[in-house]
Amino acid sequence: MPGLWGGIVVNVVYYCWDGIFDSPMAAMIHLGYLSEERPPKIGELLALPNYGRVDRAAGRLYLAGVDGYKNAVFTLGCLNKAEMIQRVILEATRQLFKSEAQFLFFDCQSIPAWRCFLAKKLAMADPSGLRLNCRESIKSFAKIAAVVKNAKENLGY
Partner 1 sequence: MKVVYMCFGRAHSSVVASAIHLGYLDPQQTPTVPELTKLPLFDVSEASDLGVPKFVGCDTEGCEIYIVGLDGCRVQAQSAIESLAAILAVPSREFLIVETLGAIGWLAKFGGFLSRQLHFVKIGRPIVAHGIIRSYDLLCELVESVKKELSVIAAKDQETGNPDHRR
- Positions that interact with partner 1 (CB under 8 A): 1-4, 11, 57-63, 72, 74, 76, 78-79, 81, 84-85, 87-89, 91-93, 95-97, 99, 101
CB closer to partner 1 out of 57 and 142: 57
Distance of CA 131 to the CA centre of its chain: 19
Q: Quote the least distance from Cβ 45 to partner 1, whole Å.
A: 24
CB-wise, 61 or 155, nearer to partner 1? 61
Which residue, 99 or 128, is less far from partner 1 as judged by CB? 99
Residue 57 neighbours by CB under 8 Å, 6+ apart: 77
Residue 36 or 91 with smaller CB distance to partner 1 = 91
CB of 105 to partner 1, least distance (A): 12
CB neighbourhood size of 143 (10 A):
13
Reduced DSSP (H G I as helix, E B as strand, rest coil) percent helix, strand, coil of the chain, to 5: 45, 15, 40
Other beta carbons within 10 angstroms of residue 12's beta carbon come to: 27
Contact assessment for residue 137 and residue 111, using Cβ atoms and an 8 Å cutoff: yes
Q: How far is the CB of 48 from partner 1 (least distance, A)?
A: 20
Output the smallest distance, CB 2 to partner 1, in A.
Answer: 6
Choice between 35 and 102, CB closer to partner 1: 102
In 3D space, the residue among 107, 131, 113 whose CA is nearest the CA of residue 52 turns out to be 131
For the bound state, the minimum distance from the C-beta of residue 134 to partner 1, rounded and expressed in Å, comes to 26
* Nearest to 8, CA basis, from 123, 147, 101: 101
